[in-house]
Amino acid sequence: MMEKGLMDKGSVEGQVVDYLMRETLKTREMWINMGPQHPSTHGVLRLILALEGERIVDTEVVIGYLHRGMEKLAEAKTYPQFLPYTDRLDYISSHAMNFGYVLAVEKLMGIEVPDRAQYIRVMMAELTRISSHLLWLATHALDIGAMTVFLYCFREREMILDLCEMAGGARLTTSYFRIGGVAHDLPDGFIEQAREFCRIFPKKAKDYDDLILKNRIWLSRTVNVAKISGEEALNLGLTGPNIRGSGVYWDIRKDEPYSNYDKLDWEIAVYDGCDVYARYLVRLKEMRESCKIVSQCLDVLEKLDGPVMAKVPKVIKPPEGEVYASVEAPKGELGFYIVSDGSPKPYRLKIKAPSFANLISIPTMVKGHMVADVIAAIGSIDVVLGEVDR
Amino acid sequence: MAEEKGKKMSEEEAKEGEKPKAPAAKEASEKRVAAPKEPPPEEPQVDVDSLPLVKRVKSAKGGLIEDVKYFRGEITFLVKKDGIVDLCHFLKDDTETQFNFLTEVIGTHYPEREKPFEVVYHLYSTTKKHRVRLKVQLAEDEEVESVFPVWRSATWYEREVYDMVGVRFTNHPDLRRILLPDDWEGHPLRKDYPLQGPPGYREAWLKAHCASTNKL
């Protein structure tokens, strides 16, 4: 109606027009909602992004859509009864979740686990690590646009799930570990089938490399994206493969070796790229190292005979006290803090879930990046919402 | 079979008469009903004050420490409420301790105690590879200072403690609920909170969301 500058600034009308122009045409942030039903958030993660054009200025992470109150439930269950609930934390690597829980209870009780059971546990935990990383690689690559990797990874993951089924009877929520050992010994034919997996897996891992390791599109989507320095990562609570992608030498299996990890020969995977690509390299190397651990365990298990269960009282009544035990789960440090009051139920059980801690750094990682990079960032830290919300 | 059992029984009775060692099977059956006969392995007696970490902390910040405990190889410091941030700064920056990583913050409710709330901090050092546990005890209406200035990850951990147990943190940049909805009432991990949620909550929810299918 009115051309700018025509109106006298001193008049009342002039001030009103000036005000309207300033308010209606000013640059402001746009808030957009991502999730909780977004396919690339791997569950029910919700992000609220503040955008300036395509650039992200601020991010808020909203979680809790899968909250089941596990810690409250634990207070109403006996120690063995709570074991199957731990499967449902990170449901794609349930052996590792069981491992953390049984270690904490055994530490509280002072139970010594037989050697054969230790090797079986380590082997199953490492198989789970491979399967978890395969699922991660599959979905992460799919998010970024590499479809074929998805199919390849699921092919090998199926072999591991078959092994899990042989050992524990279930494919995902296995509950194969027990307080004091494992549920039962490995069935006939398990070792041969696991050997077959160890034989072919390194070749298959090379296939994944051939597809994306030097792929130009993959590199442009991952290199220098969602960077986080080692110091910042420590400050923000990152653990596991994510912090090793920022050049921090920290793997609980090496630093505070639990079970039989100190008797096995393997290397920590550390890269100092600090970006999505470094975290991808870490996980790829970890899969190969885990495969090495599995074949070493198989060598031992072929010769080693003995019980797979320690002598554990039927009613588990730990002494009064509190312990914290942690394991290197596929996603990072998984810890269980148990307070016992001497009764058969835990007085308080706190789960330190790696994915929960890993999500804290998402706003820092994606600041200043494009919207599409958020998907790469979420994929690279490998969240599982069952574990975040507990 | 019956004869064999009878023989075994009589043998056992005879043995009991002589008071020999109880057979293993019997021991197991006793365990089934009661707590284990043998006490769990004794904690090796450790002089807490001789541990290097305890020595270092007590000599530098002894005034902030109320008690030290040692159980299953883990050191626990009971810290005065006002000294927690000061102590955390010290533990992070000191060259002997170097606790550069905050593993988690936990809230626990002990309703029978005089100070019913306990906030637990687990620290880890990626360089020295050791762990420590710090504890602060709080009365019903007391607040504790946030350790956010020391480790930024504390923001989320403290939000969870507030959400679940209802302990408030002063100087926290963004103290809101994190897992539960913003309008939720009560703090579920308190011991007086019912396991199946507040009374009437489930019925009300079903009525609101499943009115057509559910006959309540």
The DSSP result for B66-89, as a single string, is: EEEEEETTEEEEEE-GGGHHHHHH
pLDDT recorded at residue B183: 85
Q: Do B179 and A389 touch (CB under 8 A)?
A: yes
What tokens appear for A279 in the block?
């975290």
Strand arrangement of the beta sheet that strand A30-34 belongs to: A30-34, A46-52, A55-62
The mean per-residue pLDDT over the stretch B55-83 comes to 84
- pLDDT at residue A6 in the model: 54
Chain B hits for A249, Cβ within 8 Å: 126
Is the interface score ipTM higher than 0.85? no
Q: What are B110's two structure tokens? A: 């002990």
Q: What is the pLDDT of residues A63-95, one digit of tens each?
A: 888 888 889 999 999 999 999 999 888 888 889
User: Does residue B133 contact residue B125 with C-beta atoms inside 8 Å?
Assistant: no
Range B19-46 average pLDDT: 48
Q: Which residues of B touch A333 (CB under 8 A)?
A: 103
Note the pLDDT of residue A324: 92
In sequence order, the β-bridge partners of residue A34 are: A47
Select the residue of A250, A315, A335 nearest B126 (Cβ to Cβ).
A250
Q: How many Å apart are CA B197 and CA B204, to the nearest integer?
A: 12
Nearest-Cα residue of chain A relative to residue B188: A72
CA distance A227 to A85: 35
Using the predicted structure, report yes or no on whether residue B38 has a pLDDT greater than 60.
Answer: no
Where does chain B show beta strands of DSSP type E? 65-71, 74-79, 101-109, 117-124, 131-138, 144-145, 169-170
Closest listed residue to residue A155, CA positions, set A119, A171, A178, A131: A131
Return the pLDDT at B26: 44
Select from A9, A286, A77, A45 the least CA-distant residue to A143. Answer: A45
**B30, B38, B126, B196: best to mutate for the A interface, most A CBs within 10 A:** B126
Q: Comparing B137 with B7, which gets the higher pLDDT?
A: B137
Higher pLDDT pick, A97 / A5: A97
Query: Do residues A118 and A184 make contact, with C-beta atoms less than 8 angstroms apart?
Result: no
The arithmetic mean of pLDDT across residues B56-75, rounded, is 83
Question: Between chains, do A249 and B126 touch, taking CB under 8 Å as contact?
Answer: yes
Question: What is the mean predicted confidence (pLDDT) over A302-323?
Answer: 86
**Average pLDDT score, chain B:** 77
Q: What is the largest CA-CA distance in chain A?
A: 97
Q: How confident is the model at residue A282 (pLDDT cuts 50, 70, 90)?
A: very high
Measured CA distances, A262 to A118, A130, A293 (Å)? 12, 20, 11
- What pLDDT shows up at residue B8? 47
Instruction: Give tens-digit pLDDT for A264-278.
Output: 888 898 998 888 999
Task: Measure the CA–CA gap between A214 and A260, rounded to whole angstroms.
Answer: 36
Backbone φ and ψ for A83, nearest 5 degrees, come out as: -55, -50
- The pLDDT, as a whole number, for residue B212 is 61
Is A236 in Cβ contact with B152 (below 8 Å)?
yes
Asked if pLDDT for residue A167 goes beyond 60, the answer is: yes
Select from A85, A89, A314, A328 the residue whose CB has the most chain B CBs within 10 Å, as the one to mutate to test that interface: A314
- Predicted local distance difference test score (pLDDT) of residue B2: 44
Q: Alpha-carbon distance A213 to A141, whole Å? A: 11
Sign of the four-CA dihedral B87, B90, B95, B98: positive
- B115 phi and psi, to 5 degrees? -105, 100
Average pLDDT in chain A: 87
Over 80: is that where the pLDDT of B160 sits? yes
Query: CB neighbours (10 Å) of residue A269?
Result: 19
Residue A243 is which amino acid? I
pLDDT tier for residue B120 given thresholds of 50, 70 and 90: very high
Verify whether the Cβ–Cβ distance A234 to B101 is below 8 Å. yes
User: pLDDT tens digits, residue range A227-273?
Assistant: 898 888 999 989 989 999 998 889 999 888 888 888 888 889 899 88
- Report pLDDT for B211: 64
Mean pLDDT computed over A183-208: 89
Spatial contact of B122 and B131, defined as CB atoms under 8 Å apart:
yes
In this prediction, residues B50-70 reach a mean pLDDT of 81
Assess contact for A348 and A76: CB atoms under 8 A. Answer: no
Residue of A73, A350, A367 to mutate, testing the B interface (most B Cβ within 10 Å of its Cβ): A350
Cis peptide before A36 (omega within 30 of 0): yes
Write out residues 87-116 of A within 8 Å (CB-CB) of B. Answer: 107-110
List C-alpha distances in Å: A99 to A30, A88, A117, A120, B173. Answer: 45, 13, 12, 11, 36
Does the pLDDT at position A168 exceed 90? Answer: no
Question: B178 to chain A: which residues are within 8 Å by CB?
Answer: 63-64
Query: Which pLDDT value is given to residue B24?
Result: 46
Instruction: Report the b/e string of A26-59 with b at 16+ CB within 10 A.
Output: eeeeeeeebbbebebbbbbbbbebbbeeeebeeb
Share of chain A above pLDDT 90, in %: 25
Q: Which two tokens stand for residue A214?
A: 């030097």
SS3 A314: coil
Q: Which of A13-22, A183-192, B73-82 has the lowest mean pLDDT?
A: A13-22
A234 touches B: beta carbon within 8 Å: yes
Mean pLDDT score, A178-197:
89
CA distance A95 to A99: 6
CB contact under 8 A, A315 and B103: no
Q: With beta carbons under 8 A apart, name residues in chain B contacting A65.
A: none
Give the separation between CA A70 and CA A83, rounded to whole angstroms.
11
Contact residues, chain B, for A314 at CB < 8 Å: 28, 31-32
Residue B33, pLDDT > 70, answer no
Q: Which of A99-103, A224-228, B40-44, B109-113 has the lowest mean pLDDT?
A: B40-44
Q: Across the interface, do A110 and B120 touch by the CB < 8 Å criterion?
A: no
pLDDT at A389 over 80: yes
Asked if B189 and A318 come within 8 Å (Cβ–Cβ), the reply is no
Please give the pLDDT value at position A125: 92
pLDDT of residue B58: 80
Q: Which residue of B has its CA nearest to A237?
A: B153
Axis-axis angle for helices A94-109, A115-144 (nearest 10): 140
Packing angle between helix A190-208 and helix A147-168, nearest 10 degrees? 170
Contact flag A237-B101 (C-beta cutoff 8 Å):
yes
Check if A316 contacts B (Cβ < 8 Å).
no
Helix (H, G, I), strand (E, B) or coil at A138: helix
